[in-house]
Structure 1
Amino acid sequence: MLAFQYIDDDASLTELVSKYRQSPLLILDTEFVRTRTYYARLGLIQAYDGQTLALIDPISVGNLSEFWSLLSEPEITTVLHSCSEDLEVFARNGKCQPFRLFDSQIAASLCGFGHGLGYAKLVEQTLNITLDKGESRTDWMKRPLSDAQLNYAANDVYYLYELYPQLIQKLEDRNRLDWVFEEGERMTQGRLTPPDPEQAYLKVKNAFQLSSRQLAYLKVLAKWRLNKALKRDLAVGFVVKDHALIGLAKKQPKSLSELNKMIELTDQEKRVHGKDLLALLGSADLDNPPKPIDVLALKNGYKSSFKAIKNCLTALSEQHDIAIELLGSKRYIHEYLQWLWDGKRGELPLLLSGWRAEILASPLAELNIS
């Protein structure tokens, strides 16, 4: 059983933060619950600076602002593993992002341990310790938490502190330490920007199938759904499903009778939202519809261009011992192709930015894709 402090009042948190503010390193993890909600519900924060391991109860502590301020300290390196969802939690609950972020999953990938390595596997590979993951399905909003649950949570930062020096050494040996911090900076960008209801239709699955006129209907429907989801803190799919919005945009029912005949909508969606949905369809701005969604994969030359780039990146990933998923995923290739076919206007794609540019810029230019 690891020794830790359980922080469940403001005075204890103030004292803890004062200690942590003197440390150059802070290992963090969060436990949260996300089932039907739009935002993850924060249940526990684990923190360790090598001296004091703390489990912070955000349900009991009234004000976490002092703790969140630690993340903005330029002299403190924040270490997390596979931190994308943690960053969401920080943005939602603390309105902040780590100033200097080290993601140990990305670090492990750049050290040659493998891409997307889970925390337990990384601990096993670096420290030869097998962690018990038996509490991974815990409801972290319930109180009290058992000793087994608290120990499980403490493990997530204790061993990360232990393996951190090994990752640092391997990264320095490969001259890749700066790459990890560059990735950390990229991962935090835009996290504090709230979702834009006007653009919500672009995230509806299969929206690309719709005509410009149909997209005008989808736009008002998706905007309404997102606003309702945000107001109720409910996942958008629990308001109205994507395929239902697509069906409404295509069929545009004019009455409850027509709407009730639609198989795309559940009986509950019809009963609860029927009148609202009809009103929304009637409010669509058909005089200024969105442009049809440009699908990159349907353009002439896409297959051959994508294959040429993918083959180039695959060879370079093997040459430099960098996982292809990290060096140049499908999304990154699409971003690069879109930039090329837009006449190289706008912000440089990720494949031509930072450390990736050192490896990829010249080989990609030699492909001469137009």
Structure 2
Amino acid sequence: MSETLRSDLGFDYIYIEDQNAFDDLILQYSQSDILSIDTEFVRTRTYYAKLGLLQMYDGQTLALIDPLKCEDLSGLWALLENENIIKLLHAGSEDLDIFAHYGQVEPKRLFDTQFAASICGFDHGLGYGRLVEQCLDVSLDKGESRTDWLKRPLSQKQLDYAANDVFYLYRLFPLLKQKLIELERFEWVFEEGQLQASGRADEIDFDNAYLKVKNAFQLTPKQLALLKPLASWRLKTAVKKDVAIGFILKDHILIALAKAWPKSLKDFGKVREMSNLERGRYGKQVLSCFQQADFENLPERIDAIAYRDDYKASFKLIKKELTLVAEHNQLPLEQLASKKMVHEYLGWFWKQPETLPKILTAWRGRLTNESLSKIEI
């Protein structure tokens, strides 16, 4: 079953809630050269986002697909991996997470219009509405951005909002493409898309969950040995229950527990960050985690290179050189080399692991290799 609707801005789209209609649509889209794609989802207390709507447009047929009714999305996953089709997204990180979770796919030939805009003269991190307004002189209503996309039926206003997100995305592409070709940067967007998508469909790394705990860099190696099984348990519990990890135990509680190292339920009284309810619910599990701590093979301090005496001076030197490269190429420094990337580069420089840092790969590497190779730190 599909229904044709007309948006408040004057274009038609179809609403699909039938598996056969969806399969026919995918067959049509598989012959396309370009597809604009967006998702609407809800993610409040869950670990994984709950997919509420899929929007797609090939320049001819704009479709809103109800994934609550069309449960077999295998055709879409195959479409995303088709290297003959350019997929347009805007700031697509969360969309990529959805594709990785539901379809275990990493899209090929991905064109992120936010990134594309940032390397051809627009502001860094420009939102979709602002970009549409600046390029197409159209003002979009963003009033439905916080709607409940799992609730049915969806209103006409909600559907119009969702349709706008792919209709104008498709129209942005030729304008951005022209600018990028003039600057000889068109292929950069696909290289960046590959970097953005890479690794998202990998299995969850439970053993290294402690590395993502906020402020874990404060802990000593012995404290990290306690944090490691604790963070792994929390992540496994969150995934199993499909609950956001913060609703198990928040990061600052994990840090406090690793510092205090309670050895019995009575010892939890000195961990003020942990409520009585949390102690009763998770106290035994925390103690069990601490019993698994491996003190014979202590983890290295997180961000250990930041404790080097020459770190700040080296960071400043690298950033200064990269700022010159960014200015010479008229690029936002944040896009060429964020603070995280500079930190990653220094870690690679001092430790020389096999995997190259992001700054030295793809389009960034072609801009920075020569300059960085001349710096002595």
Q: TM-score range by the shorter chain?
A: over 0.9
Letter in structure 2 aligned against 1:258: D
Distance 2:356 2:237 in 1: 35
- Deviation of the 1:282 alpha carbon: 2.4
* 1:10 and 2:3 correspond: no
Distance 1:303 1:141 in 2: 48
* 1:314 and 2:323 correspond: yes
Partner of 1:359: 367
Match of 1:165 among 174, 191, 204: 174
Distance 1:292 1:367 in 2: 27
What does residue range 139-178 of structure 1 map to in structure 2 within 5 Å?
139-178=148-187
Letter in structure 2 aligned against 1:351: I
Percent of matched pairs sharing the same residue:
52
Letter in structure 2 aligned against 1:357: G
Deviates more, 1:302-311 or 1:176-185: 302-311
Judging changes above 3 Å, is the alpha-carbon distance between structure 1 residues 221 and 70 closer, same or farther for their aligned structure 2 residues? Answer: same
Partner of 1:46: 55
Letter in structure 1 aligned against 2:83: P
Unmatched runs of 5 consecutive residues or more in structure 2: 1-6
Q: Please say if residues 13 and 67 of structure 1, whose CA atoms lie closer than 8 Å, have aligned partners that are also in contact.
A: no
SS at match of 1:234: coil
- Deviation of the 1:235 alpha carbon: 1.0
- Deviation of the 1:260 alpha carbon: 3.4
Distance 2:108 2:311 in 1: 39
RMSD of the TM alignment (CA)? 1.3
Runs of 4+ with >4 A deviation: none
- Deviation of the 1:80 alpha carbon: 0.4
Partner of 1:64: 73
SS at match of 1:4: strand
Q: Please say if residues 108 and 114 of structure 1, whose CA atoms lie closer than 8 Å, have aligned partners that are also in contact.
A: yes
- Deviation of the 1:22 alpha carbon: 0.9
Q: TM-score under structure 1 normalisation?
A: 0.96
Match of 2:128 among 119, 124, 147: 119
Judging changes above 3 Å, is the alpha-carbon distance between structure 1 residues 261 and 300 closer, same or farther for their aligned structure 2 residues? Answer: closer
Partner of 1:288: 297
Q: Please say if residues 260 and 270 of structure 2, whose CA atoms lie closer than 8 Å, have aligned partners that are also in contact.
A: no
- Deviation of the 1:247 alpha carbon: 1.6
Distance 1:345 1:97 in 2: 25
- Deviation of the 1:307 alpha carbon: 1.2
Number of paired residues? 368
Distance 1:318 1:334 in 2: 20
* 1:279 and 2:307 correspond: no
Partner of 1:348: 356
- Deviation of the 1:228 alpha carbon: 0.1
What does residue range 183-194 of structure 1 map to in structure 2 within 5 Å?
183-194=192-203
Unmatched runs of 5 consecutive residues or more in structure 1: none
- Deviation of the 1:361 alpha carbon: 1.4
Deviates more, 1:14-23 or 1:292-301: 292-301
Distance 1:332 1:292 in 2: 19
SS at match of 2:208: helix
Q: TM-score under structure 2 normalisation?
A: 0.95
